Amino acid sequence: MTAPSVPELEVMFRICSSVHGAVRQASTSPHRADTVGMGADGSPTEELDRIAEAQVLTEVEEAHVDWNILSEEIGLVQRGGSRTLVVDPIDGSHNALRGLPFATVSLGLGAGTLGGIDIGVVHDLSGGSTYWAVRGEGAYRDGRPLRVRAWAPRHELFFINLGRHATPHAVKLAAESRRVRSLGCASFEMAMVAQGGADAYIFENDTENRNLRVTDIAAAYRILLEAGGGVVNASMAPVDEVPLRLDQHTSVLAYGDVALRDLLRRGVGP
């Protein structure tokens, strides 16, 4: 996890390492999905989520930083700082509980809105790679620069969230795309777009409250922008002004090549 000499990054890397170790040692069976409460976002909280979040809180306290914390599980914790650490302790927790290798620790640091996120770190809990970006300094995976890839028409690979609540537009994009994947981990899928492994990530459900929260995408948003990509919602509006709050949701069309931006809205077929 070698990183530039940025004090904030060093703290965020320690958090990722601590969560990674705790999750590996957790006694929760991957075949159980024990709900131990309700998170601040209104969704069920699993034991594994609580274990991971406890590690985040411990590391922040031990680092003696004054960051506020916004987490899926406990909500907003005001700690007197001007910046907020936006946390998804385990993005893809359903995958993690089932032993599937698509789950991350997602950490974004900034203020006010998604556009105010200055630093993003996404750590792959299975593969061990770490993606990070600092505003204006590019994006990296394990020390190597990331760059989105140019779109090759009819050869695209899209990550698309599918299922019973996916919009007809999302289903249409899946039908028109050359290749489609759906991994169930927004931060990881957006990081894949940033490194050129995919052309776009689409999450568009039939009601707004079934869409994504800032905790899902804050870190990957900064990483993708620094790698040369972009993020808009289903109406093609920038997501920069989405506030750092759990009661706000947004659809996401995250792209690598800007040439895909308008095509994602109207479709990629002939």
Q: Express each pLDDT in 183-241 by its tens digit.
A: 999 999 999 999 999 999 999 999 999 999 999 999 999 999 999 999 999 999 999 99
Q: 33 falls in which pLDDT band (50, 70, 90)?
A: very low
In degrees rounded to 5, what are phi and psi of residue 133? -155, 145
CATH number at residue 35: 3.30.540.10
Q: What integer is the mean pLDDT of 33-56?
A: 66
Q: Which domain holds residue 42?
A: 7-145
User: Are residues 258 and 172 located together in one domain of the fold?
Assistant: yes
Tell me if 79 is assigned to some domain.
yes
Tell me if 152 is assigned to some domain.
no
Q: What single-letter amino acid sits at 146? A: L
**C-beta of residue 16 within 8 angstroms of C-beta of residue 130:** yes
User: Are residues 114 and 59 located together in one domain of the fold?
Assistant: yes
Residues paired with residue 166 on neighbouring β-strands, in sequence order = 205
Number of structural domains (the chain) is: 2
Contacts of 137 (CB under 8 A, 6+ apart): 4, 226
Give the tokens for residue 223: 């990483």
Tell me if 1 is assigned to some domain.
no
Give the tokens for residue 241: 């002004």
